[in-house]
Amino acid sequence: MSQRNERSRRPDPGRVIHWLIHQAARRAPDTLSSRLEEEWFADLESRSAAFSRLCFALGCCWATLVIVNDFPRRVPVASPVAPANGFVTLVDRNFGYFSLRSATLFLIAGLHAALFFGLITTLSHTRSPAAPPNLQNSEVTPPPRESVAFSLDESELNHWRITVPKTVVDPPVQPAIASDVTGDVSDKPAEVTSQPPSRETPTHVVRQVAGGPGAGFPETADFYPSPSIHLGEEGISTVRVCVDMRGRLTSEPTTVKGSGSARLDQAALKLARAGSGHYRASTENGQPVNSCYAFGVRFQLRK
């Protein structure tokens, strides 16, 4: 019983389609209403599929809207009595300069413009959020530079006479990049020219002068590790540094080629750090530039 009741409650698609066509025809102009209803019901019979019939009925509803818009001006209405639903009255209303079609077009264009404006403003709002307070610029004071203090006992100094060699730069290390030049502590700076131009690039020679330890650079003897002095360790540690135009380190120095003693390599790194601000900047065509280069630190005991 309950299934029967549910079936009876469920809307019959055929009845819905007939109702749609009936309503569509009823809203058509009076002179065409009955004719269209009969014509549409007859043409509906040529369609068998339920979906196709539903599409046809919905199309009839749309057709009524178009016909109502078209035909009050063309088909003479038999009776001047306005329909009760007022549908035709709305269509017949004079919009002044605009017809119903123009007004609809303007309405659609306005809706699109509003949608577009909303979309643009929303996107621009989401793409440029205000910077949170914790990301605001603020002045940051640099951490105190690590002071490298190393001293030798006087007794040790008495034991050993240490030659205080000048920082010697060993044969240049292969540069990783064009501006990566090998340091040279000799008075005459090395002159480096750029690589020969390729076929595609025009000929453009840049005179590069490598930088290196400059005036005021710490003495190597101050960084000679005392255990190494005791053990008689000697060697050359090659250190790579990146220096800005003012001779200051821009990154942590690294050991390129070890001396064979980890102590001496560490001491060379300390020396390189301590020398920050006392490097000679590399130059290109006479102008100081940021650059990276390597130089050797020789630890040698005087015998």
Partner 1 sequence: MGKKETRVRMSLQTLRVLEAFLENPTEQLAGAEVHQRCGIASGTLYPILLRLESAGWFVSQWESVDPSSVGRPRRRLYRLTSTGLRHAGEVFASFNRGVLA
- For residues 29 and 218, which CB has a smaller minimum distance to partner 1 in the complex? 29
User: What's the closest the beta carbon of residue 59 comes to partner 1, in angstroms?
Assistant: 3
Count of CB atoms within 10 A of residue 69's CB?
16
| Binders in 43-62 for partner 1, by CB under 8 A | 43, 45-47, 55-56, 58-62
- The answer to whether 75 contacts partner 1 (rule: CB under 8 A) is yes
Least separation, in Å, of the C-beta of 69 and partner 1?
9
CB 75, min distance to partner 1, A: 6
- Site for partner 1 (CB under 8 A): which residue of 22, 71, 152, 289? 71
Nearer to partner 1, 16 or 245 (CB): 16
Output 62 or 117, the one with its CB closest to partner 1: 62
The answer to whether 44 and 21 are in contact (CB under 8 A) is yes
Q: Rank residues 44 and 245 by Cβ distance to partner 1 and give the closer one.
A: 44
In 172-261, alpha helices (H): 226-231
Alpha-carbon distance of 79 to 28, in angstroms, equals: 14
Is residue 38 part of the contact set for partner 1 (CB under 8 A)? yes
Residue of 12, 13, 14, 39 interacting with partner 1 (CB under 8 A): 39
Query: How many chain residues bind partner 1 (CB under 8 A)?
Result: 27
What are the φ/ψ torsions at residue 223 (nearest 5 degrees)? -115, 5
For residue 35, which of 87, 75, 4 has the smallest C-alpha distance? Answer: 75
Tell me, letter by letter, the H, E, C secondary structure of 8-27.
HHCCCHHHHHHHHHHHHHHC
CB burial readout 253-292, b (16+ within 10 A) else e: bebbeebebebbbebbbbbbbbbbeebbbbbeeeebbebb
Question: What whole-number distance in Å separates Cα of residue 119 and Cα of residue 263?
Answer: 65
* Beta-sheet pairing, 254-257 with 207-209: unpaired
Binding of partner 1 by 17 (CB under 8 A): no
Q: Which stretch binds partner 1 (CB under 8 A): 28-36, 89-97, 164-172, 276-284?
A: 28-36
Stretch of 71-79, 137-145, 227-235, 288-296 lying at the interface with partner 1 (CB under 8 A) = 71-79
- When asked if residue 130 is in the footprint of partner 1 (CB under 8 A), the reply is no
Contact 255, 224 (CB under 8 A): no
Smallest gap from Cβ 114 to partner 1, in A, equals: 27
Residues that bind partner 1 (CB under 8 A): 32, 35-36, 38-43, 45-47, 55-56, 58-63, 66-67, 70-71, 74-76
